[in-house]
Amino acid sequence: MQLLTWRLGTWRLGAAAFIAAWMLSSPGAHAQAQPPSPRPSAPDVSNHPADISDQKLDAAAAAIERVASLKQDYQQRITAAPAADKQRISDEAMSAIAKAVVDQGLSIEEYISILDLAQSDPDVHEKILQRIRPTGK
């Protein structure tokens, strides 16, 4: 049972990283993007944008930035690593992503729920984008 829980958690973190990368892409880039294959819905965040506090939106935006940075760092490490080390580095990346989200005061489920809502609700999407600091500009 623990292995199944761990695999589900790992898969959900990967989905969270994918969604975070989507959130940071240009508005036109995700207009036709398809969401990842169906996954269990996460509790804790209503599907009504007014129910998400500014504090949760701030935390989600901060987590998105950190997850995107970690993803980039770990992708470079995985690419440069010998084949024997790739799985270990990938596991390390997933742990770092989970920590980045939890360090912002969100559960993984809350984070995924907020990003799911942002993907389907332009108002929430815009609120999160407004909170993300521009990089390199």
pLDDT in tens, 33-68: 333 334 444 444 544 555 789 999 999 999 999 999
Q: pLDDT tens digits, residue range 73-94?
A: 999 999 999 999 999 999 999 9
Phi-psi region of 44 (alpha: psi -120 to 50; beta: other; left: phi over 0): left
Q: CB-based burial of residue 114 (10 Å sphere; 0-12 exposed, 13-18 middle, 19+ buried)? A: buried
SS3 75: helix
Tell me, what's the pLDDT at 83?
94
What is the pTM assigned to this prediction? 0.65
Tell me, what's the pLDDT at 135?
55
Instruction: Tell me the DSSP string of 77-121.
Output: HHHHS-HHHHHHHHHHHHHHHHHHHHTTT--HHHHHHHHHHHHH-
